[in-house]
Structure 1
Amino acid sequence: MTSTARILVVDDEESIRTLLAFPLRRDGHEVLTAADGRAALEIFDRSRPDLVLLDVMLPGVDGFEVCRQLRQRSSVPIIMLSARGEEGDRVTGLESGADDYVTKPFSVRELRSRVRAALRRAAMPAATAGEAPPIEIGDLVVDPDRRRVLVRGEEVELTHLEFELLTTMAYAPGRVFTRDMLLERAWGGAAYRERRTVDVHVLHLREKIEKNPKAPEYVITVRGLGYRFRDVDG
């Protein structure tokens, strides 16, 4: 069972903040709320929540910019909320650094599921540390014990999900992972999630570890199926 957490709910509508906060408090979480982007950033710096539920359409500083600023400060799980379900908005949210994107209206069951999965992911490093040896292939070194990644001798900063995607594939070189398999491994399940989410995070991962992200050496696309990590001898 996921332990209780401090969760920041950011939405400009009081009714939505109340709707989101009620089931989270019932699950035992401490819930903080903010009605705009600037207040959200101030509360985050003061209280350091364990997870952020962030609406896109905010007065002043919008949710995408708040997400970018939060991501510069922390690897805290961020779930973006929006009434706009267009693919472009979802991609923008993920590219801003969000871990997940939920389109309104959504069910309380879906919300609780996503929050539980995000908190489980965030708690995973301490539980898995020391169980797997470092991987060294080409110019890439992946050290799961320290959750460090080196590329050509330089450490690169990966988000939690990018690291999970990389280690999932790197410890099974040559194996093809479908998007559903990667959603299950990194996000804790494919329910409610779009497969495009995987593609956006793989794109960011490639930008950080590949010499040429458009011609990747490590994370290879398997057309029509998903992705695989290069073979050790490849």
Structure 2
Amino acid sequence: MVVDDHRKIRDPLAVYLRRHGFDVRTAPDAAAMHMLLRHERFDVIVLDVMLPDGDGFDLCRQIHAEHDSLVILLTALGESEERVRGLELGADDYVVKPFDPRELVARIQSVLRRRSRTLAQGAAMPPVAVEEIPAQPPVRRYGFAGWVFDVDLGRLTRPSGAPVALSEVECRLLLALLQHPNTVLSRERLLDLTEGERSGEPAFDRTIDRQVSRLRLKLSDDARQSELLRTVWGNGYRLVADVKVLA
């Protein structure tokens, strides 16, 4: 879905995306977007941050909380703070206006590839005869300081039992930290762990500190646990917790 209140951007972009094989719906505002979301599922939502009836950042957060759509924000040139804010709120990527539609196609294909790899992680298994199919294996989960992270579901649960919405980037970042607890991980190492197997796709080095900051905020359940994810100045970041693999 392409959500933009400017018809001269929205309609030609939809035509261009259809020529590249995408099934596209368009919405001129937040109300129309919500109407479409009530009736259809969308893999990707290209969302303008400036809509007449809604703030794109709030809408991005709402989409991730209520739907499984990926979100690519359209932001204005020079508004770097807005782009950072969007990533902190869980946007999967952003494109700066004015943009080449070829770039947007590449961004869409990139986030879709990352989503496909995430869904396929741990799912591949050799074919077996029907009578040999084993019981469904338990979802891989990590427990740390009262928190629980379901890897395959991409779901984080607070010690209180309340769920915490995570973006795909945050899921990869948290998994890397959980696999290396109480270990200082440099920015370069975190990039290797979260993006290394995605050669050819844009890395997130320009915002790695922002991503760590937003994940730290989500891990701050209360004052006692505000230091779960610590900055080791000049070296990187460390998850300070005993991590257990749960059944």
TM bucket (normalised to shorter chain) is 0.7 to 0.9
Give the aligned partner of residue 233 of structure 2. Answer: 223
Stretches of 4+ moved more than 4 A in 1? Answer: 130-133, 186-190, 211-216
Q: What CA distance in whole angstroms lies between the structure 2 residues aligned with 1:79 and 1:213?
A: 33
1:68-127 per-residue CA deviation (whole Å, 9 max, x = no partner) reads 332332232111102243222223323444222221122333212211121123333431
Report the CA distance between 1:215 and its aligned residue: 7.5
Q: Which amino acid aligns with 1:208?
A: K
Report the CA distance between 1:146 and its aligned residue: 4.2
Report the CA distance between 1:40 and its aligned residue: 1.5
Report the CA distance between 1:231 and its aligned residue: 7.2
Whether contact under 8 Å (2:2, 2:46) holds in the other structure is yes
Q: What CA distance in whole angstroms lies between the structure 1 residues aligned with 2:176 and 2:4?
A: 34
1:22-52 per-residue CA deviation (whole Å, 9 max, x = no partner) reads 4422331101111122112211222221110
Whether contact under 8 Å (1:180, 1:190) holds in the other structure is no
Correspondence 1:11 to 2:4: yes
Larger radius of gyration: 2
In the alignment of these two chains, the number of paired residues is 225
What is the 5 A alignment of 1:55-74? 55-74=48-67
Pick closer, same or farther for the CA change 1:229–1:34 going to 2, 3 Å: same
Correspondence 1:202 to 2:209: no
Which sections of structure 2, spanning at least 5 residues, go unmatched? 125-138
Q: What CA distance in whole angstroms lies between the structure 1 residues aligned with 2:147 and 2:56?
A: 34
Correspondence 1:93 to 2:86: yes
Correspondence 1:49 to 2:60: no
Q: What CA distance in whole angstroms lies between the structure 2 residues aligned with 1:192 and 1:17?
A: 27
Give the aligned partner of residue 141 of structure 1. Answer: 148
1:113-158 per-residue CA deviation (whole Å, 9 max, x = no partner) reads 2111211233334311469953334333333244343443625323
What is the 5 A alignment of 1:106-145? 106-129=99-122, 133-145=140-152
Q: Which amino acid aligns with 2:113?
A: R
Q: Which amino acid aligns with 1:89?
A: E
Aligned with 1:154: secondary structure?
A: coil
What is the 5 A alignment of 1:7-46? 8-46=1-39
Aligned with 2:54: secondary structure?
A: coil
Which sections of structure 1, spanning at least 5 residues, go unmatched? 1-7
Give the aligned partner of residue 82 of structure 1. Answer: 75
Give the aligned partner of residue 134 of structure 2. Answer: none
Give the aligned partner of residue 185 of structure 1. Answer: 194
Aligned with 2:21: secondary structure?
A: coil
